Amino acid sequence: MGTQLDEYLEAEIQSLLADGRIAELGITVLRRENLLVLGGEVETPQRRDEICRQITERFPDVEIACDIGIIRAQAPSEVEEIS
Amino acid sequence: MIRIAAVGDVHVDSDVLGRFRPALEQLPDRADVLLVAGDLTRHGTVEEARCFAREFGGLAVPVVVVLGNHDHQSDQQSRITDVLTDSGITVLEAEATVLELHGRRLGIAGVKGFGGGFAGACASNFGEREMKDFVGTTEVIARRLQDALLSVRVDALVALTHYAPVPDTLVGEPLEIYPFLGCYQLGRAIDAAPTALALHGHAHHGSERGRTPGGVPVRNVAHPVIKQAYNVYQLLSEEVDLELIAT
């Protein structure tokens, strides 16, 4: 029997993201019918790839769609006046 | 006029080196000081702190930071503070610093802060020892922030925390985790002083703008929220001048 895409799996993945080398607390895990969709943003492509690698290694029969973005780090073009 | 650049939750490790630096090198043309609202590192290691110091240190403007929960993960917060301080970065924990900028005095009071929640949905200092320790920690930290804010006489006063002082800037986060993202006690401390601006991070899915019950502007500068290297806020404006110097 394959891994159930239930809330225990979701909790295990959130725990993996927080406890391991990853240390990402801001990743969202959405359960679709036969698919887990990962969302949120991280600082580098290496971190995004490591998240997907570790989840795939731990749950090899779970299909992952990775929508994790990389946060832009350009200088701002505006200033906000505080009053 | 004083211009403050601010960001939080940059989670620096060796893989981040060089990502922020081009934007940071432009800071002297854009702002007078850089404030970083905690979570400087990923796992709170000394090596990561050295990476942060390399990426965010040695700038032509003063850099003032507070630590975040990630910076406590390895129980190395004292050594992290030493590494940053040795690199010329000012680390605030329950204290204030005053900068003279363009003949005006800017005061910055900072603490990491802690959780607990907000009015109507917060933890109480009651029951098990663990719960009383949790809320007691929140109350002590908030009182220290208030003391730090009231310890300086300045032209503009900024409160810098990692945890949020209001729920307004958490909108976008699941309601269930608000008590882990901030507490009303920080907001009350900010309102007890003539604070001009409160900056925090921690809430990656939150929103940018809010106000304390007393009317102090609050900005969530977590990097995933502002989606750029830093935001710039202008205080003590003498004239309407919202254009940054072109580079």
Domains annotated on chain A, with CATH: 7-70 (3.30.1340.30)
**B112: contact with A, CB 8 A cutoff:** no
Residue in chain A nearest B28 by alpha carbon: A75
| Beta carbons within 10 angstroms of residue B126's beta carbon | 8
Distance CA B199, CA B220 (A): 6
On the question of pLDDT at B243 being above 70, the answer is: no
Q: Candidates 1.20.1250.20, 3.90.800.10, 3.90.920.10, 3.60.21.10; correct CATH number of B2-235? A: 3.60.21.10
User: By the 8 A CB rule, do B32 and B102 touch?
Assistant: yes
Contact check, Cβ <8 Å, B19/A73: yes
**Closest to B227 (Cβ–Cβ): which among A23, A40, A72?**
A72
Domain ranges of chain B: 2-235
Quote the pLDDT of residue A45: 96
| Among the listed residues B99, B103, B230, the one whose alpha carbon sits nearest the alpha carbon of residue B158 | B99
CA distance B141 to chain A (A): 23
Q: What's the half-sphere exposure (Cβ side, CA atoms, 13 Å) at B135?
A: 13
C-alpha closest to that of B62 among B111, B112, B107 = B107
Structure tokens belonging to residue B36: 């970083």
Q: Specify the pTM.
A: 0.94
Average pLDDT over residues B1-18: 97
| B3 part of contact set with chain A, CB < 8 Å | yes
Q: Which residues contact B233 (CB under 8 A, 6 or more apart)?
A: A79, A80, A81, A82, B3, B4, B6, B197, B219
Query: Which pLDDT tens digit goes with each residue over B138-159?
Result: 999 999 999 999 999 999 999 9
Q: What is the pLDDT of residues A6-38, one digit of tens each?
A: 899 999 999 999 876 788 988 999 999 889 999
pLDDT band at B244 (very low <50, low <70, confident <90, very high): low
Q: CA B199 to CA B75: how far, in whole Å?
A: 25
